[in-house]
Amino acid sequence: MQINTSTYPLQGGAAAANASPTVAAARQVVSANSNDDQVSLTEQSKQQAFMASMLDNMLAKRLGIDKEKIDELKDKIKELEDAIDAMKAKGPLSAKQQDELNVMEQKLDDLKKMLEELIREAAERAAREERKYDATGDKIASYKSILALG
């Protein structure tokens, strides 16, 4: 927030001398506050990004997903897609270039399958853990009901 002092009438004489330091001080306070607001917004966005990252990591850990391996596969997929797009953008390809493009597309398919397999395995692992937890909970409930009878 900034104050536009051009709309205020200028004071003359002693009043101007007395008002000038106050106006200058007000400008400094307003300027400092707007800098603080900008810093706090930047800091807030950093905190939100950090919290989102932490939430992703916690969720991945809970599901048994190897986050580093998935990120590595995603990076490789992105690089390969960019390389394929760049090669296709060149225009007509020679037979050798077409063969290279086919090999790159096959690698891309393999990487995507690896990523899907990794996620599928993690989901299966999480489901097994959940079933194990549910079975334990059922046993505890049955023991509690038996104890309640006695």
Q: What six digits make up the tokens of 9?
A: 């009438």
Compute the mean pLDDT over every residue in the chain, rounded to the nearest whole number.
75
The answer to whether residues 122 and 63 touch, using CB atoms and an 8 Å cutoff, is yes
The type of residue at 131 is R
Q: Tell me what percent of the residues of the chain surpass a pLDDT of 90.
A: 23
Report how far residue 39's alpha carbon sits from residue 42's, in angstroms, rounded to the nearest whole number: 5
> How high is the pLDDT of residue 65?
72
> How high is the pLDDT of residue 28?
60
DSSP designation for 10:
P
Of the candidates 124, 118, 108, the residue with the CA atom closest to the CA atom of residue 70 = 118
Q: Give the pTM.
A: 0.51
Tens digit of each residue's pLDDT (9 = 90 or more) over 117-148:
988 888 788 788 777 777 666 667 766 777 77
Q: What six digits make up the tokens of 12?
A: 């003359």
| Region 93-103 average pLDDT | 92
> How high is the pLDDT of residue 104?
94
> How high is the pLDDT of residue 130?
77
Tens digit of each residue's pLDDT (9 = 90 or more) over 16-52:
444 455 655 555 655 555 555 566 778 888 888 888 8
Report how far residue 74's alpha carbon sits from residue 68's, in angstroms, rounded to the nearest whole number: 10
Q: Tell me what percent of the residues of the chain surpass a pLDDT of 70.
A: 65
Of residues 73 and 119, more confidence is placed in 73
> How high is the pLDDT of residue 102?
94
